[in-house]
Amino acid sequence: ETGVTQSPTHLIKTRGQQVTLRCSSQSGHNTVSWYQQALGQGPQFIFQYYREEENGRGNFPPRFSGLQFPNYSSELNVNALELDDSALYLCASSPGLAGGTGELFFGEGSRLTVL
Amino acid sequence: AQTVTQSQPEMSVQEAETVTLSCTYDTSESNYYLFWYKQPPSRQMILVIRQEAYKQQNATENRFSVNFQKAAKSFSLKISDSQLGDTAMYFCAFMKHWVNAGNMLTFGGGTRLMVKP
């Protein structure tokens, strides 16, 4: 069974640029959520996708957007990058909404640095 | 909105000893999950233990156990027989538990645990 994989692992961008981060969910999982973890802080929920539809969004501006594909993999897009967007971006998958144990399975994250 | 507070930014413990990490939360929900996740330097969040709010019995998982006090909104993690591999950031997290709630976790700020040889 393949776990959650994210790419790229590290990337550096300059202010104003756009970035796309990718996530492959664990086999059998149809729900993907994204979290932003600033250095030294706990992760914050960005949004969640369930069966290709956004299903819940945290307090993030519209320049944070996403997609989920028919194979349940997902992308996080951030436009007009700001210095404060520098963070570890975590993807997590689960087998459905509020079902089972509630456990999320996390990837190792993508470390974004904005200069 | 839910909030989760971890009041201990850093803790240390000697190998083989016991340590307790604190967590308090605030919510108006009656049905929810509470979790402790571990984040080692590899960055991947790993579930340590979970508790369903409707269950009065405290969850245990090998060397890890919780003290869940629902009325006090407290959820502490006890690690017994600490091992060097327990060195990591530990996050307390909250999730609503009802249909269509989604799987949004609200995390605390974390406690950095160092296990010393």
Tell me if A97 and B100 make a contact (CB, 8 A cut-off).
yes
Strands annotated E in B41-104: 46-52, 60-61, 64-69, 74-79, 88-96
- Measured between CA atoms, the residue of chain A closest to residue B95 is A102
Q: What is the pLDDT of residue A97?
A: 64
Tell me if A43 and B105 make a contact (CB, 8 A cut-off).
yes
Q: What is the pLDDT of residue B99?
A: 58
Chain A residues with CB under 8 Å of B93 CB are: 42
Tell me if A106 and B44 make a contact (CB, 8 A cut-off).
yes
pLDDT of A94 strictly over 90: no
Cα separations (Å) of B94 from A25, B2, B75, B108?
Answer: 22, 8, 10, 9
Mean pLDDT in residue range A75-104: 88
B2 touches chain A (CB under 8 A): no
Q: Which of B104, B106, B112 to mutate to test the interface with A (most CBs of A within 10 A)?
A: B104
Q: What are the residue ranges in chain B where pLDDT is below 70? A: 98-102
pLDDT of A98 strictly over 60: no
**Pairing label, strands A10-13, A110-114:** parallel
B57 touches chain A (CB under 8 A): no
Give me the residues of B, 82-101, that contact A with CB < 8 A.
Answer: 91, 93, 95-101
pLDDT tens for each residue of B19-39: 999 999 999 988 899 999 999
A53 touches chain B (CB under 8 A): no
Q: What is the pLDDT of residue B31?
A: 85
Among the ranges given (A42-51, A71-80, A100-109, B31-40), the one the predictor scored with the smallest mean pLDDT:
A100-109
**Comparing C-alpha atoms, which of B86, B45, B39 is closest to residue A105?**
B45
Instruction: Give phi and psi for B72, each to the nearest 5.
Output: -85, -5
pLDDT of A56 strictly over 60: yes
Q: What is the pLDDT of residue B100?
A: 60
Length of chain B in residues, anyone?
Answer: 117
pLDDT band at A66 (very low <50, low <70, confident <90, very high): very high
- Between A and B, how many residue pairs show a Cβ–Cβ distance under 8 A? 79
pLDDT of A1 strictly over 70: no
B40 touches chain A (CB under 8 A): no
pLDDT band at A95 (very low <50, low <70, confident <90, very high): confident
**Pairing label, strands B3-5, A19-24:** unpaired
Mean of the per-residue pLDDT values for chain A? 92
